[in-house]
Structure 1
Amino acid sequence: MINVLFAAKAERWETYEATLNEAFAEMGLTVDLRTSFAPEEVDYIVYAPNSDVQDFTPYTRCKAVLNLWAGVENVVGNTTLTQPLARMVDPGMTQGMVEWVTGHVMRHHLGIDLHIKGQDGEWRSYVPPLASERRVTILGLGQLGMACARAISGLGFPVTGWSRTQKQTDGITCLHGEEGLNVALGKADILVLLLPKTPATENILNAQSLALLPTGSFIINPGRGPLIDDDALLAALDAGQIAHATLDVFRVEPLPKDHPFWAHPRVTVTPHIASETRARTASQVIAENIRRGEAGEPFLYLVDRSAGY
């Protein structure tokens, strides 16, 4: 019997109990899945960083902590967590992010807001450029960023991707390093942020980097709120350097009602909905990692503690 502790909010348990047990059965695993165990009896922890479990020291038998979230910034610095930590790479979440990002890239590319907001009797003539004439840059070429880059490239957009380390994929211009970042920003008629939150990425969009973007560019951020200096973005919007910002993530969530993003005419706020972990596919990922742990095989998606993701 494999003892698996589900350490997350009660509403998550309601969502995941059945799908996890189904995934374990499909994998041929005999699992006792509960929300409570004596710590020394736990073999694996299925974990959300906002759960009550914050001290991992008592979990002496635990072979791995399997994160339910894609982001690990709220747990990676926990010094009591000495067990292997796996981040969530969920095919369902990846597909959801591709759909959300592609939708908003097309929205800004086609100028859809002009017609949705302009139902006032004025005949507005606007013919967008072809996709081949609109450059898209994606900061972050992890699982989500690469999937979005490939989808957008498939629609005919020239896509440049930037990451901390060099990546390579057909049809995408892949850049890295500080010089590569400057080049990537200079090509960004539409900029998509899909970086993790680390000390190196916080405020990666600031007054200096925003000035490198082509005048009238669009920003789409489904990554992490702290990637952007809010005041610098507001100043760039007011100056016309940035035409519009579509923001799904924020430093404080829910976004406070008095935050200037709400009232700004060139900001779209969405409530952290770009993509959600899907219980069915996420459960399959967790079951596969537990199967690997029991078979003595390497875990998938292990976090690099030094890099922070």
Structure 2
Amino acid sequence: MRHGVVILPEHRWSRARLLWTRAEELGFDHAWTYDHLMWRWLRDEPWFGTIPTLTAAAAATSRISLGTMVASPSFRHPVPFAKELMTVDDISDGRLICGLGAGAGGYDDEVLGGQPLSPGERADRFAEFVACTDALLRQPETDFEGKYFTARGASTRPGCLQSPRVPFAIAATGPRGMRLAARYADIWVTAGPPGWSEPLPYSTAVPLLADHLRALDEACAEAGRDPSTLRRLVVTGAMIRGVLDSVASYQDACGLFGGIGFTDTVVHWPRSGFPYQGRTDVLEDIAVSVLNEKTGGRR
């Protein structure tokens, strides 16, 4: 099991730097930050840019993988985004993971004057976004013509350090998204039940997650892909609760997740208030008891 943590981009760098470097010191395999212009419950709170944050984190760390959780086409175009990804991959010495999702509408779409999309249109746009970004990161020059995105002679030289490109972590729970993950992803991502509702205790969420894993295996079979080549990552704290209550709950949750086929578990850095309220001393204890045990969670 690999272990990760989400650090919200809410602190000035003098404070945020301490969190990113501490995540590495604690032994986490990967650290992520949200890619939004503003986020639902913290709309009136400080919120910094994702790519500059990951760039600074790359310069401040040396081992931990760094990723977007998750970037969407709501306000991004594949051409400048691919250039940024290539650059952060270089600065991090090949430690970047590109998390991608379809977007959920709301502020990120509306702030640029975009029109609301139907679920089908959102899925179409996401498929184009993934395909175009994939092409841009795999080849030195790209032409792409779609309904939502166009690239004409787009250059991404010298390319990514990682080959054939930075890994894609695609968030998906529906059939179309699963098929997209089976085709393009290195890591499949779920946060549990789709949408926003009452979070489930982690033990209660396991049957639902198992259903998602079976659907993913079917999508891989349809695509002619070996399912074992696709990592499976579960993000906890939003729709799946209780994982960070104690060292014992974390160990239990990771055991349950690993038992049904997950390769990665991600938690949120504890905050003093809603959302993701928790205790950093529990996170520290988890690092000692789980992340740094030779026979525990380290790969």
Q: Given the two structures, how large is their TM-score scaled by the length of structure 2?
A: 0.33
Q: Given the two structures, how large is their TM-score scaled by the length of structure 1?
A: 0.32
Structure 1 or 2: more helix by fraction: 2
